[in-house]
Amino acid sequence: MSKTNKEKINRLIIYYFSGTGNARNVTHWIDDIARNNNYESQIIDISKIKNRKDIIVPDNALIGFCSPTHGFNFPPIMFHFLLRFPKSNKNKTFIINTRAGLKAGKYFVPGMSGMAQYFSALILLLKGFKIIGMHPVDLPSNWISFHPGIKPTVVESIYNKRKRETERFALNLINNKSDYKGLRAILVDLLITPIAFLYYIIGRFILAKTFYASKDCSNCGLCIEKCPVQAIKLVDKRPFWTHKCESCMQCMNICPERAIETSHGYSFAIYYFISSYLVLKIYKLLNINPLLDSIFPAWLSNIFNFFIDIGLIVLLYFFFYRIFHYLLRFRFFERIVVYTSLTKWKCWRRYKIEKRY
Ligand SMILES: Cc1cc2nc3c(=O)[nH]c(=O)nc-3n(C[C@H](O)[C@H](O)[C@H](O)COP(=O)(O)O)c2cc1C
């Protein structure tokens, strides 16, 4: 899947976002390869960019973008960054998304990109860039709200394999060859793309609202200070996750007291209460169904129903998070929430990755 381009470039700038270090490590591997091949190379963490003027696109440079995949898309911080990225005069560019790599026995299981690569590619094409590389990197999954952190030995073996692949990709680009491995699963990716749109809302207004700090929190402020999108603030002397949270998992993994948890028990209970009781009550009270049926044909009424359902669930869930946060001050409530959080269990590892570059 590679072909040779004519022009020679010798400057590289990679813009990256990383929650738990995978994407950061990938940028460093590419940076190393570039430097070893006499490139002038620079890597920039987009969460540290304060001023738009700091975003530079020199004419002769190869520009790279690297970010984790969240909900089959790039997380909003990277997506918004791409949208406001300056236009280019035919700069060559590449896109890397790190994904949830797992290992079953001796088999390496890849993650799923969804629209992460294609949507960014479209934005960059419209801005005048020439895309010469699209590459997913399946590094250990950091989504520890969903599954326990991966064992260190498995992390090691996934890392070794993916580092070699990424270096080959980087060498291709440095040697002026295009590389589009990111397009291999295009059919599956397009099929799951609608989920990415839903996740954009659900991620922010539901998943982010499953985090809380248990009584083990020492109020050290590290989660607030390190949050790459400034989504955590102190409310009633306890960390509170605002809608800006992108569920990047950094806070949960760096907390020195291991006090940040995902509230599985509470979240399921409240979700069940909202969707199977409260929403129905609201429907009845406002007479929504007969109203929709009287205005629209049945199929359109069903579609509206679907979106009103989602809207109401998201809104109510968001509202209940504030109450949840208040109730956590009561020891009895806090203990029930803690003991029904899977992340509290000893076997539920965190995801820690060293800076290995
Ligand atoms: C909220 C969330 C959503 C995720 N969604 C996906 C996904 O749709 N597809 C995938 O392959 N991996 C997904 N992952 C896994 C991460 O993309 C993956 O672990 C990535 O390497 C993390 O990079 P980072 O350490 O730089 O943050 C998700 C992780 C999180 C926390």
The tens-digit pLDDT sequence of the chain (357 residues) is 444 445 568 999 999 999 999 999 999 999 999 999 999 999 999 999 988 777 888 888 999 999 999 999 999 999 999 999 999 988 999 999 999 988 888 899 999 999 999 999 999 999 999 999 999 999 999 999 999 999 999 999 999 999 999 999 999 999 989 999 878 899 999 999 989 988 887 887 888 889 999 999 999 999 999 999 999 999 999 999 998 999 999 999 999 999 999 999 999 999 999 999 999 999 889 888 888 888 888 899 889 988 898 889 989 998 999 999 999 999 999 999 999 999 999 899 999 887 765
Are 138 and 210 within one domain? no
Co-location of 252 and 337 in the same domain:
yes
- How far is Cα 202 from Cα 314, in angstroms, rounded to an integer? 7
Q: Which two tokens stand for residue 212?
A: 């809380």
Domain count, the chain: 2
Domain boundary among 190, 222, 257: 190
Please tell me whether residues 219 and 312 are part of one structural domain. Answer: yes
Ligand 1 nearest-atom number relative to CA 353:
25
Rounded CA gap, 16 and 167, in Å?
Answer: 17
Claim to verify: residue 35 and residue 169 sit in the same structural domain:
yes
Is the CB of residue 143 below 6 angstroms from any atom belonging to ligand 1? yes
Does 18 lie in the same domain as 157?
yes
For position 249, which CATH number holds? 3.30.70.20
Domain boundary among 190, 220, 244: 190
- Identity of the amino acid at 204: R
Pocket lining: 70 vs ligand 1, CB cutoff 6 Å: yes
| CA atoms 278, 280, 285, 291: torsion sign | positive
Using only C-alpha atoms, the chain has a radius of gyration, in whole angstroms, of: 22
CA neighbours closer than 13 Å in the CB half-sphere of residue 203: 21
> Do both 159 and 226 map to the same domain?
no
Q: Write down the pTM of the prediction.
A: 0.92
Report CA 289 to chain centroid distance, whole Å: 36
Q: Taking a C-beta distance cutoff of 8 angstroms, is the pair 316, 274 a contact?
A: yes
Instruction: Tell me the CA–centroid distance for residue 185 and ligand 1, in Å.
Output: 17
- The finding on whether 99 has its CB within 6 A of some atom of ligand 1 is yes
- Residue type for position 62: L
* Domain range for 21: 11-190
Calculate how far, in angstroms, residue 310's C-alpha sits from the geometric centre of ligand 1.
Answer: 23
Amino acid, res. 289: N
Indicate which atom in ligand 1 lies nearest the CA of residue 67: 26
| Distance from the alpha carbon of residue 296 to the mean position of ligand 1, in angstroms | 40
Instruction: Give Cα 237 to chain centroid, integer Å.
Output: 28
| Ligand 1 binding pocket includes 23 (Cβ within 6 Å) | yes
Q: Give the Å distance between the CA of 31 and the centre of ligand 1.
A: 22
Cα–Cα distance for residue pair 207/17, rounded to 1 Å: 20
**CB of 139 sitting under 6 A from ligand 1:** yes
Q: Ligand 1 pocket, 228 CB below 6 A?
A: no
